[in-house]
Structure 1
């Protein structure tokens, strides 16, 4: 990798997800330095935070007991810092990048070491993930998926957030291919089950969020508002789903191998500080109406308890040049908020560690139509595989080998700046022998 001198001001493309208002955090390495360390994304560049830390740029932002926060292979040390310290570091980065007199521009040695092209960086999982739980927070997804399964929505779904504990071992970073899983699927003719490759592979368009401040074993969170103190930031999440395996196993104990083959996440963690302007009220009237009657640990005391984060799915098929949009939806439409999910999960006393990951579940929004699709998985889009989704001269029922699924997500600041998550990409490969 050739060293570059980056002058002030930084040139940030207008359509970049990583504006000065964002500053997401991730883990990267380069060919010239294979050690994994922490970075921040800005435009088409990566800021090597380990270099800035070594040169003392964050000395007054950290408590005495905290050091060597960024020269680490994960963001766990940074995420475990008190919120005021993490916020101070993010503000320091913004101030350094916005100041033409700062040393990262005027000191050529620091400049050449601390700023690199994102194209020269290899991105890795941002956190050491000890546990993964995936929720079911969208009323639209709940209604559609239960109807497809020939059931009606369980009323308990709207009394408490529903979830399953997933596999942390199969969480992979964007760009990592997923092999078509094998499992027990319906036999030809529908009599019994046979072991074989999944025939109904699906994606799930979600957001995920990481735990920052740990919750000790045996402790609970008093309110859903308090859960914000324990959330580090958000990423895009694709919970790959083998629908035939899943439907054959999920009653009565829930998803198992149908969800275990892979969960893809985007590499850059967008913090709550960056998303502050996107805080908003839910658009689910039923959820807002029910709030006052919920138990205390599930209750929000303010209206702006969720975020207006748009997410979008696309598909790229081998032999077709164009990438086709599949659907767009928003976290704002969800019945349950991230704070409610975390608070409910913690109510068992299970405890949480820094780096634990929670998924929102499939973020389908109401108002779906052919012109404006708003459903976030193929199970819903194709009504269980009975009505193919048409794109161009092609159709899509389930994901085929070689298909690449692409997610994007973004929010907006009050003054019109885009806060994006970058892309989450994953390609489905044939099953292993």
Structure 2
């Protein structure tokens, strides 16, 4: 069967125009070997085949990286090599005389419909750390915990916890409702190992590390830290709030956040985000930038990205598909992704290719531009339900508090450039299954 003709038919609302070229790992029924592809419209271009046929023109010398089961080998290449490879892929797709279209045998096998592919975790993830970098989110959570507002240390450094990579999962993988140790009512205090009653989503983005930071070394500035970012994904750090708040004193999150962290399968590179760079919108962060120590300071005026992020919820009994709940923007964070990377490395711990950092819940003062009625600026149900004390209403008239068994949460991200063109991150989807 012949493959697609030139030019490729890319839907106008696709997350994956030629200006995107994200990288992911896929298999098919016909070829169960995990390999690298890029999403183009509704298709996947098999980059392992492109590489095998010599179409990359020796841009990485004799190195082969697209036949691996993860993106780590490619992500570890110097930024200039990754940029050149991406540009070459775009060139091949824009040229009707390239082998992708002129070679009938290659054309027939180089493209796969996304609907026929199985996506896998894009990277071998050695470590996962999750930050808490939205001033609105930290302020709301602090007040619900009987504090007057965000603690002073939040404004001095991007705070985080060391998570676990074992339960980072790719979009579409179900998450089982966990059991955890919960404090029972009554006195004296008692605890029981029971199913969580308060499963929450967290609307986040994930940051994948490219070239490593060797152990014992640090990063000189937040601007320099961008050189260690391979790309971004959508990320949902599922949280059992009742378990989290039972165990958090005195050490912080542990099993309450251990049951699953869902990420989207396509890594969108910083090259694809060129043109979307902006200054952050948190006025306090901008005012304090000049007072930061050098390793946490951005001198570049555009130091984060204008990425609209949304969370939607689908409940089996609801007709009409997922209902939007949250809409915010990456640029609303007090601390930028690059500042998170620089701070993480500041202890000398080192960072490795494939390490994953979460931004923390992206909440903002106002819903993202384009959000409809009944959509909120807060990126988790803990905030929206005021720590589970009251239900809130969605645009479809339904009221919710936390995620129920059978619910599916869908996160998405989109860049809208000044010329009106868009790119997206694909789906970050997860369904909660009943406890065993």
Residues 1:181 and 2:184 aligned together: no
Partner residue of 2:387 out of 384, 389, 395: 384
The secondary structure found in structure 2 opposite 1:183 is strand
8 Å contact from structure 1 (residues 312, 328) kept in 2: yes
Aligned-CA RMSD value: 1.3
Distance 1:272 1:10 in 2: 24
Distance 2:180 2:431 in 1: 20
8 Å contact from structure 1 (residues 201, 399) kept in 2: yes
Residues 1:83 and 2:79 aligned together: yes
State the TM-score, normalizing by the size of structure 1.
Answer: 0.97
8 Å contact from structure 2 (residues 3, 109) kept in 1: no
Q: Write the mapping of 1:226-305 to structure 2, written as runs, cut at 5 A.
A: 226-305=224-303
The secondary structure found in structure 1 opposite 2:338 is helix
Partner of 1:334 in structure 2? 333
Partner of 2:401 in structure 1? 397
Distance 2:289 2:365 in 1: 20
Output one character per residue of 1:35-87: Cα deviation in whole Å (capped at 9) or x when no partner: 000000000000000000001011331134xx221001000000000111101
- 1:123 to partner: Cα distance: 0.3
Deviates more, 1:186-195 or 1:81-90: 186-195
Output one character per residue of 1:249-282: Cα deviation in whole Å (capped at 9) or x when no partner: 1122110000001000000000000001110001
8 Å contact from structure 1 (residues 277, 412) kept in 2: no
The secondary structure found in structure 1 opposite 2:131 is strand
- 1:311 to partner: Cα distance: 0.4
The secondary structure found in structure 1 opposite 2:166 is helix
Partner residue of 1:141 out of 117, 137, 141: 137
Partner of 1:406 in structure 2? 410
The secondary structure found in structure 2 opposite 1:88 is helix
Distance 2:61 2:350 in 1: 25
Residues 1:430 and 2:429 aligned together: no
Residues 1:351 and 2:350 aligned together: yes
The secondary structure found in structure 2 opposite 1:119 is helix
Output one character per residue of 1:107-163: Cα deviation in whole Å (capped at 9) or x when no partner: 011111211111111000000000000001100000011111222321011101100
8 Å contact from structure 2 (residues 324, 375) kept in 1: no
How many residue pairs get aligned? The number is 428
Distance 2:388 2:285 in 1: 30
8 Å contact from structure 1 (residues 173, 266) kept in 2: yes
- 1:370 to partner: Cα distance: 6.9
Q: Which runs of 5+ in 2 are unaligned?
A: none
The secondary structure found in structure 1 opposite 2:426 is strand
The secondary structure found in structure 2 opposite 1:385 is coil
Deviates more, 1:381-390 or 1:39-48: 381-390
Distance 1:192 1:298 in 2: 43
Residues 1:125 and 2:121 aligned together: yes
Deviates more, 1:387-396 or 1:241-250: 387-396
Change (3 A) 1:393 1:289: closer
Residues 1:374 and 2:372 aligned together: no
Output one character per residue of 1:21-44: Cα deviation in whole Å (capped at 9) or x when no partner: 101000000001000000000000
Partner of 1:210 in structure 2? 208
Q: Which runs of 5+ in 1 are unaligned?
A: none
Partner of 1:418 in structure 2? 422
Distance 2:407 2:212 in 1: 38
Q: Write the mapping of 1:54-203 to structure 2, written as runs, cut at 5 A.
A: 54-64=52-62, 67-152=63-148, 153-189=150-186, 191-203=189-201
- 1:389 to partner: Cα distance: 2.0
